Amino acid sequence: MPAGRRSGSEGGVVKHRFDPSGPLRGTIAAPADKSLSHRAALLAAMASDPVRVTGYLDAADTNSTLAAVQALGALVERGEVLTIRGTGLRAAAPAAAAIDVGNAGTLMRLLPGWLAGQPAGSWTLDGDASIRRRPVDRIAEPLRRMGAQIEAREGRFAPFTVTGSSLEAIEYPLPVASAQIKSCVLLAGLLAVGETTVIEPEPSRDHTERLLLRCGVTVSRDGPRISVCPQDELELRDLHVPGDPSSAAFHVAAAVLVPGSRIVVEGMAANWTRVGFLRILERMGAVLVGELEPAGAPLSPDEPVTELDVAHGPLAGTTVDAAEVPLAIDELPLVALLGCFAEGETIVRGAEELRVKETDRIATVVDGLRGLGADIEATADGFVVQGTGGLRGGTIASHGDHRLAMLGAVAGLASREGVEVDGIEAAAVSYPGFEADLASLGGR
Ligand code: S3P
């Protein structure tokens, strides 16, 4: 029997019931990484020669990025291998209409870094209802300091218009540990006069730095300081997108929670800045076998990949502090779920960034899990969960948030009574094959 059952659809919102599951078993390929797919398409569009990308994520978010680079003049040929023929670093085409970023925050925050440095152009970016609630002043501020002009609705929301200019390099202490802001400033730095430096309050995912190195850019990292030099062109050769640890995390959590489970996840990116969730899970007592990148590895153009072996086991509560948050930001909803099953208290703090994700993920996770019987309280910057050894079940709404939809599914498999996810279709934003992959691991 599959792990989940479709129970109906109303006005495009699909309800899907996930029953309590028997042991999950088998091997699964982690779906392609969303962060890396966005960056692969953007940098290929900025490159001078055609770039062949294998393993590109075919999902709503990353398809928005392909459509955006096409609107800017890149040619995109889809097939088993994706070929992107870029415009070159300084030749993005004027777009006839607003560039639609859909639901993709990474596209909305990274693309302006490239556009800001092109004096001949002006581009408007807009997206769906969720993206219109997410702030862009965080990128507008440094880009303005570099010389770009940005006009945003109410000063901080989409739709917003980027008017390119001759940019000057800046030294920019990031107000929050965000890879999106860091990446935006570094991309603008490629087109600025002088050396651009960002200073991170805490390390965040470093895919942009690695990919820029791969493009022949001089990128240096000195503790929290990351600097890039201006560039005439990007020389990107073919690249492969490894599996997404944030998507794989849902299967990993399901295997840890459902008694008797043992699964293997293949081809997953093991970049230290992306596997904070696995370190948290190990601290909670889970037994994971895989080769994760160690802390302090030198900046490299490569993305390490691993195979991960995960088994069910008992969990103990833990505390996740601010320094760990950017390294597990998209998996923190799963930490809340795991906390329900752990012995003792699980605390996440310093995670106010969760409030500006696809939904306010402090509010939606706390309300959602409480509706399933969890003992969980929201705080200003996170949540506190009292482990009760299990979860009753019930109904959870995804609110159009892909990670909330998948959270509900995993909760259902591990619950006593099952969970109906209202809006499971949202999973397709990052992981269109999610339900099928979960079902392939079995269930009762
Ligand atoms: C991402 C960075 C994170 C993360 C998002 C993807 C990226 O956002 O939550 O899903 O690809 O750079 P922030 O950088 O805003 O924390």
Question: Which residue's CA is the nearest one to ligand 1's atom 11?
Answer: 35
Helix axes 245-257, 402-414, angle to 10 degrees: 20
- Per the structure block, which two tokens stand in for 42? 């953007």
Distance separating alpha carbons of residues 304 and 36, to the nearest angstrom: 13
Residue 154 CB partners (closer than 8 Å, separation 6+) = none
Q: Which atom of ligand 1 is least distant from the CA of 178?
A: 14
The pLDDT tens digits of the residues spanning 377-397 come to 999 999 999 999 999 999 999
Q: Is 205 in the pocket of ligand 1 (CB under 6 A)?
A: yes
Residue 257 near residue 413 (C-beta atoms within 8 A) = yes
Query: How many helices (H) and strands (E) would you count in the chain?
Result: 12, 26
Contact 352, 380 (CB under 8 A): yes
Q: Is 182 in the pocket of ligand 1 (CB under 6 A)?
A: no
pLDDT of residue 426: 98
Return the best residue to mutate from 107, 180, 181, 184 for the ligand 1 pocket (most ligand atoms within 8 A of CB): 180
Question: Does position 2 have pLDDT exceeding 50, yes or no?
Answer: no
- The Cα 417–Cα 321 span in angstroms is 32
Can you tell me the mean pLDDT for 58-68? 98
**Ligand 1 centroid to residue 316 C-alpha, Å:** 28
**Position 4 confidence tier, pLDDT thresholds 50, 70, 90:** low
Is pLDDT of 442 > 90?
no
Give me Rg for the CA atoms of the chain: 21
Q: Looking at residue 431, what is its pLDDT?
A: 98
- For ligand 1, atom 15: residue with the closest CA: 178
For the annotated catalytic residues, the residue numbers are: 330
Cβ–ligand 1 contact at 179 (below 6 Å): yes
Best of 64, 133, 178 for a ligand 1 pocket test (most atoms within 8 Å of beta carbon): 178
Residue 11, pLDDT score: 75
Report whether pLDDT(327) > 50: yes
Cα(39) to ligand 1 centroid in Å equals: 12
Q: Which of 273, 329, 353, 354, when mutated, tests ligand 1's pocket best, judged by the most ligand atoms within 8 Å of its CB?
A: 329
Which of the two residues, 444 and 277, has the higher pLDDT score? 277
Q: What tens digit of pLDDT does each residue of 200-255 get?
A: 999 999 999 999 999 999 999 999 999 999 999 999 989 999 999 999 999 999 99
Report pTM: 0.97
* 320 bridge partner residues: 348
Q: Is the CB of 208 under 6 A from ligand 1?
A: no
353 lines ligand 1 (CB under 6 A): yes
Q: What is the mean pLDDT of the chain?
A: 96
Q: How many angstroms is it from 197 CA to the middle of ligand 1?
A: 19
Buried b / exposed e along 117-153 (16+ C-beta atoms within 10 A): bbeebebebbbbebbeebbbebbbebbeebbbebebe
Query: Does the pLDDT at position 344 exceed 80?
Result: yes
Q: What is the mean pLDDT of residues 163-191?
A: 98
Q: Which atom of ligand 1 is nearest to the CA of 38?
A: 11
> Are 156 and 135 within 8 A, CB to CB?
yes
Alpha carbon distance 396, 412 (integer Å):
10
Q: What is the mean pLDDT of residues 342-346?
A: 98
pLDDT greater than 60 at residue 429 = yes
pLDDT confidence bin for 31, thresholds 50/70/90:
very high
Answer whether 399 contacts ligand 1 (Cβ < 6 A).
no
Report the percent of the chain where pLDDT is more than 70.
98
CA distance 330 to 322: 14
Task: Please name the residues in contact with 231: beta carbons below 8 A apart, sequence gap of 6 or more.
Answer: 89, 190, 191, 215, 216, 217
Q: Which residue has the higher pLDDT, 91 or 172?
A: 172
Using the predicted structure, report yes or no on whether residue 59 has a pLDDT greater than 90. yes
The strand pairing partners of 304, in sequence order, are none
The protein residue with its alpha carbon nearest to ligand 1, atom 5, reads 106
Higher pLDDT, 379 or 443: 379
Confidence at residue 6, expressed as pLDDT on a 0 to 100 scale: 61
CA dihedral 340, 343, 279, 443 (to 10 degrees): -50
**How many angstroms does the Cα of residue 261 sit away from the middle of ligand 1?**
30
User: Does residue 26 contact residue 440 with C-beta atoms inside 8 Å?
Assistant: yes
Residue 39 Cα: closest atom of ligand 1: 11
Q: Is the pLDDT of residue 444 over 70?
A: no
Contact yes or no for 203/102 (Cβ under 8 A)? no
Q: What is the mean pLDDT of residues 42-61?
A: 97
415 pocket-lining for ligand 1 (C-beta < 6 Å): no
pLDDT band at 98 (very low <50, low <70, confident <90, very high): very high
Query: What tens digit of pLDDT does each residue of 109-136 get?
Result: 999 999 999 998 999 999 999 999 999 9
